[in-house]
Amino acid sequence: MKVGVLSLQGAIEEHLKMIKRCGFEGIKVKTVGDLENVDRLIIPGGESTAIGKLAKIYGLDREIVKKGREGMPIFGTCAGMILLANKVVGNEQIRFNLIDIVVERNAFGRQVDSFEVELKIKDFNGKPFKAVFIRAPYIKEAGKEVKILAEFRGKIVMAQQKNILVSSFHPELTEDLRVHKYFLSENY
Ligand code: GLN
């Protein structure tokens, strides 16, 4: 299985490393042709407005929407989650409308408020997941098709709707492979 990482801006290498550690081939996706060549896609953290604008310039926005609607598994972390959302509070920025959530950006505070927490993720047995939040968004509202996988201080920070998975935090910045393994598992 080939796993693409949208490589326009943001935490790209970290995801590629995690994919490799999970035993799969990671591929940088910069063009529509690259996207054709992968089975799953990760949209990394970074700056969601910048990634959205670049995706549009390269014609990747429409293709990602098409693949997502066709059922390709797509995982968005942080800025990636913002890009996959149906709605962003107070902002009409470019996004892919692939998951029925309303997202609030920078919702836990600015850069100085980056933090780590021990997070309990639904159906993840064993120890909690060390979640790194950096200028993180959270999910303000989720439609009834959306499965809530984790909450922190009463806010939704990880969710899934069919083939689309999102997290407010950065699982690629830890040594724990469980979130990537979940996304890359056979029956996902
Ligand atoms: N605050 C960024 C945004 O709104 C996301 C931060 C991140 O991806 N670490 O795009």
CATH number, domain of 126, equals 3.40.50.880
Distance CA 36, CA 174 (A): 29
Quote the pTM value: 0.96
Q: How far apart are CA 122 and CA 129, in angstroms?
A: 11
- For residue 42, list its beta bridge partners: 5, 75
Contact predicate 65/36, CB 8 Å: no
Query: Which ligand 1 atom sits nearest the alpha carbon of residue 49?
Result: 10
Q: Is the pLDDT of residue 42 over 80?
A: yes
pLDDT (tens digit, 9 = 90+) per residue, 43-64? 999 999 999 999 999 999 999 9
Domain span at residue 128 reads: 2-184
- The count of structural domains within the chain is 1
Which numbered atom of ligand 1 lies nearest the CA of 78?
8
Q: Which residues line the pocket of ligand 1, CB cutoff 6 A?
A: 45-48, 78-79, 82, 105-106, 134-135
Q: How far is the CA of 107 from the centre of ligand 1 (A)?
A: 10
Ligand 1 atom at minimal distance to the Cα of residue 134: 9
Is 15 catalytic? The answer is no
pLDDT at residue 139 above 80? yes
Q: Is 172 a catalytic residue?
A: yes
